[in-house]
């Protein structure tokens, strides 16, 4: 089975993908600088999977160290998660995002070239669609970057495609994630936002633990069925499974492609609050607040390409997403009756 290196492998989506890869018999090496990951993650992964987890603590911009790791571990493909991902921060410090996301990716490509590693699965984002004309969104919808973070994702997608076209890489899959939520059902790994969460699900779970008094619902006057924003939330374990299948596909089928990863179903903020209450038995107090600047009313995926190419479909429900997010956050908060 192939040897896979995960940049940012100790982070939220990377750690869950490691579980999915190990379950399918791959060997994984995690490369992370631990800027946004807990140091216990590799040990928890080893406990969870019973597998040996190789860890390289390095920055993706350290070409020598990355190239050595790729060569020493005989890596067949890289899954590239390592990036900064906060939209607001990217607008406040564009050069930091160009440096970490774009320059970082170029340095990773240099290391891959040195080591002769020619296959890549790349974490892109549905944020590149900006305000879509309509949902469900297909991969050929126009891209409308609305912030620096989104710009870096689009540039990174294009760089990979260029390197395939010019023969430096064999295969690249850009995976455009919609809204990843949830955690492994063991509650041993999950998302650890630092400070006040920007995203809906971590905020809801922190209201449920009592760490925050109520949720602000950003706008109830959108042109959506209940007036609140609609998104395509996808369980991180479904997303993880899709990475394993995308990787297996690209190793067999050289070329560059871009694939949406979502469930294909739009869920409103109020739907999510009610699902969370139903799945966990906790009450989520909320207040309607003004719209959040930059928010889009509604978007969700057409995930049919992923189904056709990878034979993948999201299986986990919104209730699964809520239950698993809650287990993870409750465990962190020391709440045991879940």
Of 127 and 228, the one with the shorter C-beta distance to ligand NAD is 127
C-alpha span between 298 and 231 (Å, rounded): 6
Q: Is the dihedral of CA 123, 130, 155, 60 positive or negative?
A: negative
Number of residues that bind ligand NAD (CB under 6 A): 26
C-alpha span between 123 and 191 (Å, rounded): 16
Q: Which stretch binds ligand NAD (CB under 6 A): 18-26, 30-38, 44-52, 312-320?
A: 30-38
Q: Taking CB under 6 A as the rule, does residue 148 contact ligand NAD?
A: no
For residue 3, the minimal CB distance to ligand WQD (Å) is 27
Q: Nearest to ligand NAD by Cβ — which residue? A: 11
Neighbours of 214 (CB within 10 A): 12
Residue 175: strand pairing partners: 123, 259
Of 99 and 288, the one with the shorter C-beta distance to ligand NAD is 99
Q: Which stretch binds ligand NAD (CB under 6 A): 3-11, 218-226, 267-275, 313-321?
A: 3-11
What does 36 interact with, of ligand WQD, ligand NAD, none (CB < 5 to 8 A by kind)?
Answer: ligand NAD
169-208 binders of ligand NAD (CB under 6 A): 177, 180
Look up 149 and say whether it is catalytic.
yes
Which of 17, 36, 119, 125 touches ligand WQD (CB under 6 A)?
Answer: 125
What does 12 interact with, of ligand NAD, ligand WQD, none (CB < 5 to 8 A by kind)?
Answer: ligand NAD
Which of 198, 209, 224, 317 touches ligand WQD (CB under 6 A)?
Answer: 198
Name residue, tokens 């369980």.
235
214-273 binders of ligand NAD (CB under 6 A): none
What does 262 interact with, of ligand WQD, ligand NAD, none (CB < 5 to 8 A by kind)?
Answer: none
**Per the residue annotation, which of 12, 149, 177, 300 is the catalytic one?**
149
Which of 229, 262, 264, 303 touches ligand WQD (CB under 6 A)?
Answer: 229
Question: What is the 8-class DSSP label of residue 59?
Answer: -
Helices (H), the chain: 12-23, 41-49, 63-72, 87-92, 94-97, 104-115, 148-165, 200-209, 236-252, 269-280, 304-310, 318-332
Task: Show the site string, 240-269: x = touches ligand WQD by CB under 6 A, - = not.
Answer: -----------------------------x
C-alpha span between 290 and 326 (Å, rounded): 26
Element of type H or E holding 30: strand 27-32
CA angle 185, 136, 290 (to 5 degrees): 80
Residue 54: strand pairing partners: 29
Q: Which stretch binds ligand WQD (CB under 6 A): 73-81, 92-100, 107-115, 198-206?
A: 198-206
Residue 318: strand pairing partners: none
Q: Please, which residues have CB within 8 angstroms of residue 27's CB and are 6 or more apart in sequence?
A: 1, 2, 3, 4, 54, 73
For residue 200, the minimal CB distance to ligand WQD (Å) is 4
Neighbours of 138 (CB within 10 A): 15
Which positions are annotated as active-site residues? Answer: 149
Residues of the shown chain interacting with ligand WQD in the complex, contacts defined by CB under 6 A: 85, 87, 125, 127, 179, 198-200, 203, 215-218, 229, 231, 269, 292, 295
């Amino acid at each position: 089975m192939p040897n896979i290196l995960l940049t940012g492998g100790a982070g939220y989506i990377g750690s869950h993908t490691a579980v999915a890869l190990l379950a399918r018999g791959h060997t994984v090496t995690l490369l992370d600088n631990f800027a946004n990951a807990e140091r216990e993650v590799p040990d928890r992964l080893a406990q969870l999977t019973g597998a040996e987890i190789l860890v390289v603590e390095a920055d993706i911009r350290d070409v020598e160290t990355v190239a050595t790791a790729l060569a020493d571990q005989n890596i067949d493909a890289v899954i590239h998660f390592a990036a900064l991902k906060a939209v607001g921060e990217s607008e406040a410090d564009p050069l930091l995002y160009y440096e970490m996301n774009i320059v970082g990716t170029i340095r990773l490509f240099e290391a891959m070239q040195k080591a002769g590693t020619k296959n890549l699965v790349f974490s892109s984002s549905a944020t590149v669609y900006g305000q879509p004309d309509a949902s469900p969104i297909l991969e050929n919808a126009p891209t409308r970057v609305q912030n620096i973070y989104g710009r870096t994702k689009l540039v990174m997608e294009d760089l990979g495609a260029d390197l395939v076209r010019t023969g430096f890489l064999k295969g690249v899959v850009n995976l455009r994630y919609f809204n990843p939520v949830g955690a492994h059902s063991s509650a041993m790994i999950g998302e650890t936002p630092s400070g006040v969460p920007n995203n809906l699900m971590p905020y809801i779970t922190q209201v449920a633990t009592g760490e925050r008094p109520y949720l602000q619902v950003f706008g109830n006057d959108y042109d959506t069925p209940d007036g609140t924003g609609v998104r395509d939330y996808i369980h991180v374990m479904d997303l993880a499974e899709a990475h394993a299948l995308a990787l297996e596909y690209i190793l067999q089928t050289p070329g560059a492609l871009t694939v949406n990863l979502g469930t294909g179903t739009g869920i409103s903020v109020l739907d999510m609050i009610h699902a969370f209450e139903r799945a966990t038995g906790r009450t989520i107090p909320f207040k309607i607040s003004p719209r959040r600047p930059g928010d889009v009313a509604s978007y969700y995926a057409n995930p049919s390409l992923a189904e056709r190419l990878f034979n993948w479909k999201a299986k986990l429900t919104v209730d699964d997403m809520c239950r698993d997010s809650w287990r993870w956050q409750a465990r962190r908060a020391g709440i045991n009756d879940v």
